[in-house]
């Protein structure tokens, strides 16, 4: 493969990484402003164990993980955490609502696939700290 094609692929991955990171930051900030108690109450209602701890971990994973994706810091490791986040969301919340948005599997499935892609191929160009 030509070096130009590889460079374009790497920057394409970077574009996806920054976009996905931005989505996670937005969701993490929303949960932060919602408050850990409200997030914990929701997690409890969908059957998540240790829902108070899970609320803190989930909020921080999305917020800090999103920032890390944007910056390209430990992308593969962060992507594992965020992929797990999306897998749990799919199983506990979205799968019973069918495929389409707003509550179906469509959007979390795309985020799960994007994160698994980062796990397999890395974060592309302009990563600050590779893993």
Q: What pLDDT, in 10s, does the model give residues 72-84?
A: 999 999 999 999 9
pLDDT at 2 over 90: no
**Domain definitions of the chain by residue range:** 7-121
CA pair distance 115, 40, nearest whole angstrom: 24
Task: Flag the least confident range among 69-78, 79-88, 99-108, 122-131.
Answer: 122-131
Q: At residue 1, does pLDDT exceed 70?
A: no
Reduce the DSSP state of residue 1 to 3 states and report it. Answer: coil
Cβ count within 10 A of residue 84: 13
* pTM for the model: 0.95
- pLDDT above 80: residue 109: yes
Neighbour tally for 130: CB within 10 Å: 11
In this structure, the dihedral spanned by the alpha carbons of residues 9, 10, 16 and 20, taken in order and rounded to 10 degrees, is 150
Among residues 115, 111, 108, the alpha carbon closest in space to that of 79 is found at: 115
pLDDT of residue 61: 98
Measured at the CA of 86, the angle between CA 82 and CA 88, to 5 degrees, comes to 115
Cβ-defined contacts of 78-81 (< 8 Å, 24+)? 78/118, 79/115, 79/116, 79/118, 79/119, 79/123, 80/115, 80/119
For 26-35, give one letter per residue: b (16+ CB within 10 A) or e.
Answer: ebbeebeeee
């Amino acid at each position: 493969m030509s070096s130009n094609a590889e460079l374009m692929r790497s920057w394409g991955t970077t574009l996806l990484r920054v976009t996905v990171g931005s989505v996670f930051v937005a969701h993490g900030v929303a949960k932060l402003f919602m408050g850990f108690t409200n997030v914990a109450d929701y997690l409890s209602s969908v059957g998540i164990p240790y829902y108070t701890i899970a609320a803190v971990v989930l909020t921080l994973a999305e917020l800090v993980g999103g920032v890390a994706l944007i910056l390209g810091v430990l992308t593969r490791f962060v992507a594992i955490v965020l992929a797990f986040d999306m897998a749990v969301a799919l199983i506990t919340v979205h799968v019973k609502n069918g495929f389409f948005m707003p509550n179906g599997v469509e959007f979390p499935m795309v985020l799960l696939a994007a994160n698994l892609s980062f796990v397999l191929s890395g974060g592309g160009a302009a990563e600050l700290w590779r893993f």
